[in-house]
Amino acid sequence: MLSCNSQGSKQYQSDSTVVVNDSLSEKERFATAIAKPLISQRYSADPSVHVFEGKMFIYPSHDYDAGIPEKDDGSHFAMKDYYVYSLDSIGGEIKDYGIALQLKDVPWAEKQLWAPDAAFKNGKYYLYFPAKDKEGVFRIGVAESNHPHGPFKAHPDPMRYSFSIDPAVFTDTDGQSYMYFGGIWGGQLQKWASGSFDPDGSASDLEQDEQPALSPKIAKMDEGMTEFAEKPKDVLILDEHGQPLKGGDHERRFFEAAWMHKYQGKYYFSYSTGDTHLLCYAIGDNPYGPFTYQGVILKPVIGWTTHHAIMEFKGKWYLFYHDTELSEGKTHLRNVKVTELQYTPAGRIIPIDPYGQTVHAD
């Protein structure tokens, strides 16, 4: 994650080209936002959403201002707890369950509780979360509860073989669960290129332009849902010629924020492109992929990061995402939003413009 504030002067060239209208201020762009913040009592970001007990449960990061100056490694995202929320219906009232887990109750973790996810199996709810350990290395932890809203009790150690950030747990229709994870730059994925952590490894993927891009990871979950059943494997994202996307392809390569959903029998792997601020997706025939790049889901939001969850509720599909409307554009103080997601009859996702002021070029 790198700081790079205003997107107003940038043009994003991709298959769904976005030309940001430079003449509008951030305030004017927020005024045309297609959705309002869902949670206004505190900042919230990185939504993961699942239907449990007939409701949509939202598991976001809890942003706050720790007074840490903005840095390329994302240390200003210094979150120290998680709150859980639910919605009975889209447009309904948000229910706030209070604190679900705090950093001080996670024995192995030192700082930066980043994007979490949750799962349900065998009568228990599991919260998965990344944090930096005492050596400054991102790992993924797990915490358990009898309720979807917690409170969650953290395991004393991070998950074996876990590293980097942004866990997303997908349970397939046959009941098998998988975790997708990883994030480059501040998320440290590039420091694991050799298979073990290299503290002196590159701070980004910028030396990778002509090579295959760094891959997000997948691991099957064991029956108990608290460990991997296998060592993590690469998730390959291919271009239209069947070749792996290259590191220099910043408009399409994986950066962070993995999510998986299944639509009409196909596996949709979606993610953020980070420094080009797009949410996009790739389709495959099984949870491991390979996945072939398809296009953009969400054009850039105001704020540096972009992160999401896609889920079905009562026959409609929704995209949960975040921007920075509540803080009037502060990168590290974000708020969750939701909008409907639509597909063409061929199963392509129709790209969404979060403000309705961008111009779609041919």
Site residues for ligand FUB per CB under 6 A: 1, 45-46, 61, 77, 114-115, 165-166, 183, 256-257, 305, 307
| Other residues' Cβ atoms within 10 Å of the Cβ of residue 43 | 24
What tokens does 174 get? 């046959």
Q: In whole angstroms, what is the distance from residue 131 CA to residue 106 CA?
A: 9
Nearer to ligand FUB, 87 or 115 (CB): 115
Residues 6+ apart with CB under 8 A from 16: 295, 296, 299, 351, 360
The DSSP call for residue 275 is G
Query: What CA–CA distance (Å, rounded) separates 12 from 10?
Result: 7
Q: Which is nearer to ligand FUB, 145 or 272 (CB)?
A: 272
CA dist list (Å): 103 to 123, 132, 135, 140, 349: 25, 10, 16, 13, 37
Taking the least distance from each CB to ligand FUB, the nearer of 47 and 232 is 47
Q: How far is the CB of 113 from ligand FUB (least distance, A)?
A: 9
Strand positions, DSSP E, 273-349: 279-284, 291-298, 308-313, 316-323, 335-341
CB 74 → ligand FUB: shortest distance, Å? 6
Residue closer to ligand FUB, measured from CB, 60 or 150: 60
Q: What is the largest CA-CA distance in the chain?
A: 54
Least separation, in Å, of the C-beta of 63 and ligand FUB? Answer: 7
- As measured in angstroms, the least distance from the Cβ of 187 to ligand FUB is 7
Catalytic residue from among 26, 46, 249, 251: 46
Query: What contacts 24+ positions apart, CB below 8 Å, involve 194-200?
Result: 197/137, 197/163, 199/136
Examine the residue annotation and report whether 256 is marked as an active-site residue of this protein. Answer: yes
Q: Is 251 a catalytic residue?
A: no
Q: How far is the CB of 80 from ligand FUB (least distance, A)?
A: 12
Residue 46 or 323: the one with the smaller Cβ distance to ligand FUB is 46
**Distance between CA atoms of 354 and 226, rounded to whole angstroms?**
36
Considering the candidates 117, 205, 256, 275, report the single residue annotated as catalytic.
Answer: 256
Burial degree of 160 (CB within 10 A; 0-12, 13-18, 19+): exposed
Closer to ligand FUB by Cβ: residue 46 or 205: 46
Residues marked active site are found at 46, 256
